[in-house]
Amino acid sequence: MAAHTVIAISELHPNFSHPKVVGIIIGKTDVKSFPDRKNASVDRFTFGFTIKDSPDFFINVTAWGNDRYITGLTNSFSIGDCVTIENALISTKDPEKGDRFSPATPSHYRLLVTEAHSLVSLCADMDTTDRLLPLIHLPVKDSTDFYPLGDIVANGQKLDGSVINILAAVKLIGETKQFTTSDGRKGQRLEVKLFDDSVSSFPLVCWDREAIQLMQTLIPKETLLFIADAKISFDSFRSSMVATVNSRSIITVNPDTKEASLLFSYAKEVSESGALDQDETPEDVPVESITDVYTVRQLKQKAQENPEVFFGITFSFISKLDLDSSVSKVIRTRCSRCKFLVSVDMLSCTNQLCPGRDQVFSTTTGFDLLVDLSDHTGTLQACYLRSPVAEKTLGCTVSIIKTGVRGTILACSLAHPGEVKQHMSALLQH
If you average pLDDT over residues 231-245, what whole number do you get?
88
pLDDT band at 149 (very low <50, low <70, confident <90, very high): very high
Q: What percent of the chain has pLDDT over 90?
A: 51
What is the per-residue pLDDT for 260?
Answer: 95
Burial (CB count <10 Å: 0-12, 13-18, 19+), residue 25 = buried
Mean pLDDT (whole number) for 123-143: 94
Mean pLDDT of 244-270: 94
pLDDT, residue 15, reads: 87
Residue 63 has pLDDT above 90, yes or no: yes
Condensed to tens digits (0 to 9), the pLDDT of residues 75-100 reads: 999 999 999 999 999 999 887 776 78
CA distance 271 to 249: 27
Residues 339 and 361: their CA atoms lie apart, in Å, by: 12
Side-chain half-sphere CA neighbours of 222 within 13 A = 3
- More confidently predicted of 7 and 237: 7
Q: Please tell me the predicted confidence (pLDDT) of residue 180.
A: 76
Which has more pLDDT, 42 or 123?
Answer: 123
Contacts of 190 (CB under 8 A, 6+ apart): 173, 174, 175, 176, 177, 205, 206, 211, 212, 215, 216
pLDDT of residue 35: 85
Predicted pLDDT of residue 69: 94
pLDDT at 123 > cutoff 70: yes
Rounded to an integer, the average pLDDT of 338-354 is: 71
The mean pLDDT of 172-200, rounded to a whole number, is 86
Query: Rounded mean pLDDT of the chain?
Result: 83
Q: How high is the pLDDT of residue 175?
A: 83
Of the candidates 101, 137, 135, the residue with the CA atom closest to the CA atom of residue 8: 135
Does position 413 have pLDDT exceeding 80, yes or no?
no
| pLDDT of 167 over the 70 cut | yes
pLDDT band at 174, cuts 50/70/90?
Answer: confident
In this predicted structure, the answer to whether residue 16 has a pLDDT above a threshold of 90 is no
DSSP strands (E only) in 174-280: 177-180, 186-195, 202-206, 224-235, 240-245, 250-253
- Res 428: pLDDT: 38
List all residues 6 or more positions away from 217 whose beta carbon is below 8 Å from its beta carbon.
Answer: none
What does the alpha-carbon distance between residue 47 and residue 73 come to, in Å, rounded to a whole number? Answer: 9
Own/partner contacts of 158-161, CB < 8 Å, gap of 24 or more, are 159/232, 159/241, 160/232, 160/233, 160/234, 160/241, 161/231, 161/232, 161/233
- How is 120-165 classified by DSSP, letter by letter? EEE---HHHHHHHGGGGGS-SS-TT--B-HHHHHHHGGGGTT-EEE
388 prior amide bond cis, ω within 30: yes
Predicted pLDDT of residue 427: 38
The span from the CA of 158 to the CA of 384, in Å, is 41
Q: What angle do CA 221, 223, 282 make, to 5 degrees?
A: 30
Q: What's the CA gap between 123 and 403, in Å, rounded?
A: 71
Task: Give the C-alpha separation, 220 to 63, whole Å.
Answer: 33
